[in-house]
Amino acid sequence: MRLQSFLYVLAAVLSGAFAASIGARKHNPDLALPLYSSGRWIYNSKGETVTYVGGNWPGAADAMIPEGLQYQSVSYIAGKFAEVGMNSVRLTYAIELVDQIYENGGKDVPIKTALVEALGTENGTKVYHEILEHNPSFHKDITRLEVYDAIAEELYKRGIYLHLDNHVSKGMWCCGTDGNGWFNDTYFDVHNWLRGWQYMASHGKKWKALSSVGLRNELRSPASGYAYPVNFEVWTEYMTKAAEVVHKANSDVLIFFSGLNYDTTLHEIVYGNPLSDSSNATFDIRDYDFLHKAVFELHSYSSPTECESFWSSLYSDGFACLNESDTDVVNRLPVVLTEWGHSEEDISDAYESVYSTCLHRKAAEYKFGWMLWTVLGDYYIRSGTQDVEDTWAILAKNETVFRGVMSTEAVESMIADTLASDVDEGVYASQKEIKSWASYKVKGGA
Ligand SMILES: *[C@@H]1O[C@H](CO)[C@@H](O)[C@H](O)[C@H]1NC(C)=O
Ligand SMILES: *[C@@H]1O[C@H](CO)[C@@H](O)[C@H](O)[C@H]1NC(C)=O
Ligand SMILES: *[C@@H]1O[C@H](CO)[C@@H](O)[C@H](O)[C@H]1NC(C)=O
Ligand SMILES: *[C@@H]1O[C@H](CO)[C@@H](O)[C@H](O)[C@H]1NC(C)=O
Ligand SMILES: *[C@@H]1O[C@H](CO)[C@@H](O)[C@H](O)[C@H]1NC(C)=O
């Protein structure tokens, strides 16, 4: 009894110390890259599990420049991710950025040109000067990709993982029936997409914080009648092709596979079901060289009235992977919730909603990684309107302060609970699959 209560106190002290280290906003600058996946966990190069707790930093809209820089510096904004305790950033880009580099004889476009193109001469020039004013380290001809480089460098300095997400082909606000939705959709040229990944995965080798990539955000119904059929057979063909391109160009990065219907389901893949109505083929992750780089990603936006039924559909859509006792799972990979979010104004209906508290509880229970949509409070332009505030961001429009007190605390508390090491060994016992990573290394995979 005595010993037990002593252990309780010790555990409480240790978990308190853990929470305090998060509260003190300390980050381990050693990212211990590369990461790899084995079974349901992501590991770092020391064999320790890594759980992403992060936020989105959009950069795929019309100007194709990461947002917020007309209000604050790269360093200041990265510091805000760190301040709430986030360990990762999902930075989005558009394939059109790479297309324009090819059209421009291999040279990227200066942000000044891109801003004038997206916002018009007057506003584009104004925003350009504001960006330089807030980012004195930028030279006047800085290109878009050099802004990405600066973010990557800053994240590295702060010990924050960089997850690079291909959000769209044509740079614009996402997502609807907008021509960016599915393979061979109006703007979704598959060849350009693969070329874009070849380019970015190679370029990303010099980003010391780059830990993972997301092949494509929110696959969904196409606008064009020329697009390929929407099913997991087509998904398998092109997603694995892109993964091979990335893996060949940069064998260090994890590769995230998003699902169908706005990245809300990977059910057929996870459970090894037939890939389409007209085929008996199934997906087997072990067929691929990038096995120990593969990760599943899902998104969730919802307003459930009850947690367990909401969770049971997320579970069936892919989070079942995280339950090692669930033997119905055929392809077991880590699953990261790369987008979820709600208003970050101090409205209890938002941060205390069933949706928000349920995801918080399940992240703590299942130890899944997640990335909040969104952190940045403003878009240069969104759906034709300039200087648009995003109230779903934890930062206020001017990127300077947090939008809400209670809502930001809810995010901090979810981070602490997700990272707390109270793993139920019965359900989540793991580590054992590390052996297969060793054989992967022997095979020359990384
Ligand atoms: C310039 O930006 C402002 C918002 O900052 C907007 O109200 C105005 O419509 C924009 N001008 C043009 C020509 O788009
Ligand atoms: C892809 O779409 C284009 C039109 O955007 C069409 O011309 C082409 O035939 C389509 N490719 C295939 C293989 O269906
Ligand atoms: C799928 O498998 C079933 C049973 O083995 C078989 O009857 C059917 O012809 C197969 N369908 C296809 C499209 O291969
Ligand atoms: C894990 O899967 C087993 C077998 O299906 C099930 O009995 C158990 O409730 C699941 N546990 C969790 C936490 O999902
Ligand atoms: C930024 O916005 C917040 C909230 O609207 C405001 O309180 C603060 O004064 C602003 N700061 C600057 C530097 O503009």
Q: Measured in angstroms, how far is the CA atom of residue 276 from the centroid of ligand 3? A: 12
Distance from the alpha carbon of residue 118 to the mean position of ligand 1, in angstroms: 11
In whole angstroms, give the CA distance from residue 57 to residue 375: 6
Q: 21 in helix, strand or coil?
A: helix
Measured distance CA(157)–CA(32) in Å, rounded: 13
DSSP H helical ranges for 401-433: 406-419, 425-428
pLDDT attached to residue 421: 79
Closest CA to 163 of 220, 215, 108, 238: 215
Each residue's pLDDT expressed in tens, for the chain with a length of 446 residues: 334 343 433 444 444 344 334 434 445 579 999 999 999 999 999 999 999 999 999 999 999 999 999 999 999 999 999 999 999 999 999 999 999 999 999 999 999 999 999 999 999 999 999 999 999 999 999 999 999 999 999 999 999 999 999 999 999 999 999 999 999 999 999 999 999 999 999 999 999 999 999 999 999 999 999 999 999 999 999 999 999 999 999 999 999 999 999 999 999 999 999 999 999 999 999 999 999 999 999 999 999 999 999 999 999 999 999 999 999 999 999 999 999 999 999 999 999 999 999 999 999 999 999 999 999 999 999 999 999 999 999 999 999 999 999 999 999 999 999 999 755 443 443 333 333 333 333 333 33
Assigned token pair, 322: 């995280």
Classified as helix, coil or strand, 332 is: coil
Q: Which domains does the chain have, with CATH numbers?
A: 53-109+146-420 (3.20.20.80)
| Ligand 4 atom nearest to 424, measured from its CA | 13
Instruction: Please give the pLDDT value at position 184.
Output: 98
Residue-level pLDDT at 423: 52
State the first-to-last Cα distance of the chain, in angstroms, to the nearest integer. Answer: 49
Instruction: Give me the amino acid identity at 398.
Output: N
* Pocket of ligand 3 contains residue 277 by CB under 6 Å: no
CB of 224 closer than 6 A to ligand 1? Answer: no
Residue of the nearest CA to atom 3 in ligand 1? 386
Q: How far is the CA of 73 from the centre of ligand 5 (A)?
A: 15
Distance CA 211, CA 124 (A): 33
Its pTM stands at: 0.91
Which ligand has an atom closest to residue 381 CA? Answer: 1
Does any ligand 1 atom lie closer than 6 A to the CB of residue 123?
A: yes
Q: Which of 394, 387, 386, 379 is nearest to 60 (CA)?
A: 379
CA distances to 2, 41, 323, 392 from 254, rounded to whole Å, are 46, 12, 21, 28
Q: Measure the CA angle with vertex 80, ends 75 and 86; round to 5°.
A: 115
Atom of ligand 4 nearest to the CA of 320: 14
Count Cβ atoms below 10 Å from residue 211 Cβ, excluding itself.
Answer: 26
Q: Which atom of ligand 5 is nearest to the CA of 403?
A: 4
How far is the centre of ligand 2, averaged over its atoms, from the C-alpha of 192 (Å)? 13
Structure tokens at 184: 């061979």
* Nearest listed ligand to the Cα of residue 120: 1
Considering every ligand atom, which ligand is closest to the CA of 311? 4
Contacts of 364 (CB under 8 A, 6+ apart): 414, 417, 418, 420, 422
Question: 386 in ligand 1 pocket by Cβ < 6 Å?
Answer: yes
How far apart (Å, rounded) are the C-alpha atoms in residues 129 and 139? 11
State if residue 389 touches ligand 1 by the CB under 6 angstroms criterion: no
Q: Does residue 226 line the site of ligand 2, with CB under 6 A?
A: yes
Of 231, 275, 278, 280, the residue with max ligand 3 atoms within 8 A of its CB, to mutate for a pocket test, comes to 280
